[in-house]
Amino acid sequence: MDTRLLRSFLAVARSGSFTDAALELGYTQSTVTGHVQKLERQLGGRLLDRLSSGVVVTDLGARLIAHAEEVLAAEDRLRALTAPSGSRPSGTVRVIAPESLCTYRLPAVIGAVRAAEPDVQIWISPGGIGDALDAVRRGTADLALTMEPRAPVTDLALEKIGTEPLILVDHGARIGDSTTWAELAGRDALLIEEGCGYSDDVANHLAATGAGPGRRSRFGSIEAIKRCVAVGLGWTALPAISAESEIRSGELRIIPGPDLPACDIHMATHPRRHPGPALEVVLAELRRTWARSRPPKRN
């Protein structure tokens, strides 16, 4: 079987679009369409349904995805073994990560990779932990970054590369030298949507106090939360890196206590897929990025 047919099918299945798949693979749209149609003839059934809202995978197509990925992973391993000595990595690496990492950590990673290996491209997309891990599992992403108080429970391969400290912030009005969860529970809190581990932990701390009557609002964006906190609509918990500029300018201030444990940063990859040279380049740069961000050890 021509593995180009499998690559075209997987690209369409991931993107839900023949046009996007053609752009990803560097083919014309008609070529991708032809590949999928030929594969459907060879397998004797429809793999994709073309709907007005986009392309969706059929039951047969869904069963094919895992097997196609295994075949292509084996092909990638063979290519890596037989690659000429001194050849440069190339390809696209698809990464899903929390919004704060996409905004404040990954641009430096992309810049470093581009400078060292210009033929390696990185596509980043913000996403919650559930969507990110599921995308790696389904093959629609090569790598997920998680930022949680605890390591996620998953069948994917995990590697811890660092931590990100968390802080509590408000809009600038002082509320005392030391603040307790009970005191915070009496004020309006603006938290990331449910499913974010550290925000859920904060919500649990507030609920455990039995105090009130502060309101709890959930948002899908850290940037939206910061804007609301800045105009006095409440306080929040967020990664320190995402509020550095606002704290320096005085727009936001750190609430003194209670302390929050740092979030662990994990890289999640598929255990059955061979990490090709392009992905290895990105993984190595991510390790270096968080190694540089660690505070120096005290003697």
pLDDT in tens, 238-268: 999 999 999 999 999 999 888 889 999 999 9
Determine what percent of the chain is predicted with pLDDT higher than 90: 59
pLDDT for residue 7 is more than 60 = yes
Q: Is CATH 1.10.260.40 the right assignment for the domain spanning 1-86? A: no
Beta partners for residue 57, in sequence order: 48
The Cα-based distances of 39 to 61, 74, 199 in angstroms read 11, 19, 46
Are the folds of 88-164+262-293 and 166-254 the same?
yes
Domain ranges of the chain: 1-86, 88-164+262-293, 166-254
Q: Which residues contact 139 (CB under 8 A, 6 or more apart)?
A: 10, 14, 65, 69, 270, 273
Mark 123-146 as b/e (b = at least 16 C-beta within 10 Å): ebebbbbeebbbbbbbbbbbbbbb
| The length of the chain, given as a count of residues | 299
What CATH architecture is 166-254?
A: 3-Layer(aba) Sandwich (3.40)
Q: What pTM was computed for the model?
A: 0.74
Mind listing the pLDDT tens digit for each residue in 271-292?
888 788 899 999 999 999 999 8
pLDDT digits 0-9 by tens, 66-89: 888 888 878 777 776 776 666 788
In angstroms, rounded to a whole number, what is the distance separating the alpha carbons of residues 13 and 53? 14
41: Cβ–Cβ under 8 A, 6 or more apart, which residues?
none
Taking only the tens place, the pLDDT of each residue in 40-73 is: 999 999 999 988 878 999 999 999 988 888 888 7
**Domain 88-164+262-293, classified CATH 3.40.190.10, yes or no:** yes
